[in-house]
Amino acid sequence: MTPRAQRPELPASDAALVGLLFAVDPHGLGGVMLSGMPGPVRRAWLDRVRALLPESAPWLKVPVNVSDDRLLGGLDFAATVGTGKPVFATGLIEAADGGVLVLSMAERLQESASAVIGSALDLGEVRIERDGLARVTETRFGIVALDESIEDDERVPEGLSDRLAFQLRLDQVELSQMSFGSWTADAILDARRRYLRARIKPGTIAALCGSAAAFGIPSLRAEVLCVRVAKAVTALRGGRVVSDEDAATSARLVLPQRARRLPVPEPETADQESQQQPEQSESERDGEQASKSGVPDEVLVDAVAAAIPPGLLAELQRQAPRRRRQSTGGRGESKTRGRRRGRPVGVRPTDTIAGQRLNVLATLKAAAPWQQVRSSATGRSDALHLRKEDLHVTRFEDRVETTIVFAVDASGSQAAQRLAEVKGAVEILLNDCYVRRDQVALIAFRGSEAEVILPPTRSLARARRTLAALPGGGGTPLAAGIDSARELAEAIARQGRVPAVVLLTDGRANIARDAEPGAERAEEDALAAARLMAVSGVNTMLVDTSRRPRPRASSLAQAMGARYVPLPKADAESISATVQRGIT
């Protein structure tokens, strides 16, 4: 064991400290997410961490398009055919036992692969029950997830990132900060022994849990990881009991990237407590604090807050009422099960292949273990023996994109302030559509006609420019706006996409279909256009943007078969939130 006098000092940079902590317990701490593009900094960090692990520890790279067979293992087809009995091929998860899995381009990892890896990390074992095999093998490994995302909608699956204790942004780290000092694999091994014996006070655990709650962190894994990281810091320092400083370091490294809101200050209760409790000496108060709390909550909260960049603090405060939902495929994206076309999503056994596509490899794998038995039964060893129960077909999934058509009332009945709020709501919706990879289109109706000012597109910048330049004023050709939205939605449907219409209007029409003024005829034409929209079957929502909702907008929505949303005092964010709940 390394003597205290010769024990290396902890590095000053968090990047190096995280590397040391991960090396102490790769499996218990889950892993590290490295955010940033490939470069010398990332290469240096990976090389130094790998050098701290035992020489026998596996270090396996997982490609982004890895299959379940490669992850879990499965039937070795060639060996099984050659021997006439099932032969198992070891998967990457089992092979990584005692080492590390490096996930390349983790932001593009499929959800199925993320679920398989996360389950194995939680259970400490890998299970496989298929191809005539039933196998359970223990495996304990850590993860290094390489996050190379550029766009906002590219991110590591939450089910995986939640299991990783650390997140490092390498674009904010210099190569000079990659110095791990004199730490070696032997020194890490000594720290690992101390880590297994390290203790933490119940009060310190309570303080860590309170800090996580203060920042609105919903996952209980954060508290568990905080405790383990605190013990690892104590082990690296050579201590036996987690100190206040170790707990603060743990909270600073684990909690900031998981924060959902800023802590809410608690009301002052010191005067009330002093009136209810008898006087205590200073030594008695210090002793009680040490025995109950372990570390003051405010120390940990301040440590976490200091680790969050100032810009992020402001963003968290602004977005506290509405946290952006994470999505990888788009909530508005429809999925249909296909029999012969689309994206392959696995195989399944079948009694007949009529109208389906035979999966030859899966069929042969199902038949391979039985060839020796079947050859003995038939007396023929020179033929491939297939049975009905061996047949497997490929399952396909077609992804159908959603296009949301925004039909915006830009007439004079929409006051300038109200039109500005509607624009703000549409812009928020455009951001959400961009994240979900939906297409959007904009229709504006004012004066005597409706105009498609933005055809279906994914370009957020183009949509913003078009929306900002939208003028207001003039008559309200509501029937023309509804007709234009329906026609565009039907054209979108003919192209194989799923349309949805969001109509933002106060429902007051004064321009008829023939562009002639007159409220009575205009309202009749609007109702007729609404009935045609209902016949088309397009998913529609009418957002009543008037200050005081009146029956005309509700009747229009009823005739249209649309969901009616009256928002007399809504701002941009409330309009956006309501539409997000309704267009599903």
Compute the distance between CA of residue 570 and CA of residue 359 in angstroms, rounded to an integer: 54
Bridge pairing between strands 73-75 and 88-90? antiparallel
According to DSSP, residue 388 is labeled: G
**Residue 29 and residue 228: Cα distance in Å, rounded?**
7
Sign of the torsion angle spanned by Cα atoms 65, 70, 71, 75: positive
CA distance readout (Å), 247 to 100, 200, 362: 26, 9, 52
Domains and CATH numbers, the chain: 14-188 (3.40.50.300), 198-264+289-319 (1.10.8), 339-399 (no CATH), 402-582 (3.40.50.410)
Residue 283 has a pLDDT of 40
What pTM was computed for the model? 0.57
Cβ 176 vs Cβ 47: under 8 Å: no
Distance CA 501, CA 489 (A): 7
Q: Residue 305: what pLDDT? A: 62
CA distance 268 to 439: 51
493: CB partners within 8 A, 6+ apart: 499, 538
Gap between the Cα atoms of 169 and 147, Å rounded:
9
571's CB contacts (< 8 A; 6+ apart) are 421, 424
Which residues lie across from 503 on neighbouring strands? 407, 542
Instruction: Indicate the length of the chain as a whole number.
Output: 584
Closest CA to 52 of 92, 11, 12: 11
**Token reading at 74:** 């499965």
Q: What is the CA 226 to chain-centroid distance, rounded?
A: 21
**145 Cβ contact partners less than 8 Å away, ≥ 6 residues apart:** 31, 32, 33, 34, 103, 106, 156, 160, 161, 164
Q: What is the pLDDT of residue 24?
A: 95
Residue 441: per-residue pLDDT: 86
Q: How far, in Å, CA of 438 to CA of 332, rounded?
A: 7
pLDDT block averages, 10 residues each, the chain of length 584? 65 91 95 91 94 94 85 76 74 94 90 89 86 83 91 78 91 84 92 94 90 86 94 94 92 87 60 48 43 53 61 46 36 48 68 68 77 77 74 70 82 63 69 70 87 83 76 85 93 84 87 89 92 89 79 88 73 56 54
Helix ranges (DSSP H) in 53-107: 68-72, 77-83, 92-95
Q: Tell me how far apart the terminal alpha carbons of the chain are, to the nearest angstrom.
A: 61
To which residue do tokens 């396996």 refer? 60
Q: Is 444:416 a contact under the CB 8 Å cutoff?
A: no
Q: How far is CA 296 from CA 203, 262, 293, 398, 443, in A?
A: 9, 18, 6, 54, 57
